[in-house]
Amino acid sequence: MSARDDFARALLDPDQPCPAGLVAWNGSDPARRFQVYRNNVLVALVDALADGFMVTRELVGDAFFRAMAAAHARAHPPRSPVLACYGADFPGFIARFPPAAGLPYLADVARLEYLRVVACHAADVAPVSQAALAARLADEAGLPALGLGLQPSLAVLSSRFAVVSLWAAHHGVGDLAAVLPEAAETALVLRPGLEVEVIGIPPASGVFIAALQSGRPLGQAADEAMALGVGFDLAATLGLLLQKSAVTALHPSGSIS
């Protein structure tokens, strides 16, 4: 293990001693200065998570959240210097964090919040024109094989819990007291303009959009959605994608590269 690895390991583990070989320019105690640096790094990581997972924090309170975030930061230090995108492992950590077991929906709320972070920083891609899409949709014979490229910001989260309602209520939309956390909801996350949107959609629409995103052609994606047996409105779902400028490419053969 290199000196750099020793330094990184000691930086996030308070039980580790100050790395050997450190000196202070002014002759002060390196161990004390390292402890200050260690605390500052941990606070910065916890603050980054607090900024990205605001609803998760509100659901458990600041003290609980910061303790949980600190435990996560020590176990999963950032792999990139861009702290704005830190937290990809946080939802999974929450799901395995014993003190959070009493809030089984908390991990999915965190998953939704991280999808918003990803959407916020996703690349901008121009949507296809409404005329081009309408022309392709009018070709009934070629419709089943049509592939649709979707915005990089787009993601679907199918949850056993009311993640959309919980998130919305914490942003002043709806009454938090009226939300039933155990009610399953599907979220569509995307950034059609400058703002990231979270939209509740039917489960079948979520299956359809996720299938398109995985590269499956329109016909196969529709079949997967209808297989749920709960009703699927193809026109309404395509209309939503068009309204939100989510379709960025048309592939007549169904092949998406």
Give the separation between CA 126 and CA 76, rounded to whole angstroms: 35
Q: Which of 15-19, 42-46, 138-142, 176-180 has the highest mean pLDDT?
A: 42-46
Q: What's the pLDDT score for residue 15? A: 66
What token pair was written down for 80? Answer: 């990139």
Segment 168-176 mean pLDDT = 86
Tokens 């299938």: give the residue.
Answer: 211
Neighbour count for residue 121 (Cβ, 10 Å): 13
pTM for the structure as a whole: 0.87
**Of 24 and 103, the one with more pLDDT:** 103
The answer to which of 83-87, 144-148, 174-178 has the lowest mean pLDDT is 174-178
Rounded CA gap, 176 and 108, in Å?
17
Across residues 174-196, what is the average pLDDT?
91
Range list of β-strands (E), the chain: 147-150, 155-159, 185-190, 197-201, 247-251
HSE, CB side, 13 Å, CA atoms: give it for residue 108. Answer: 21
Distance CA 227, CA 147 (A): 19
* pLDDT at position 32 over 60: yes
| pLDDT for 257 | 45
> Could you read off the pLDDT of 198-215 as tens digits, one per residue?
999 999 999 999 999 999
- Residue 5 predicted with pLDDT over 50: yes
| pLDDT value of position 177 | 81
- In whole angstroms, give the CA distance from residue 117 to residue 225: 27
End-to-end CA distance of the chain: 41
Task: State residue 204's pLDDT score.
Answer: 97
Residue 121 scores a pLDDT above 90:
yes
How confident is the prediction for the chain on average, in pLDDT? 88
Distance CA 108, CA 114 (A): 10
One-letter amino acid for residue 173 of the chain: V
**pLDDT of 110:** 98
Would you tell me the crossing angle of helices 203-213 and 218-226 to the nearest 10 degrees?
150
Q: Are residues 191 and 151 in contact, defined by beta-carbon separation less than 8 angstroms? A: yes
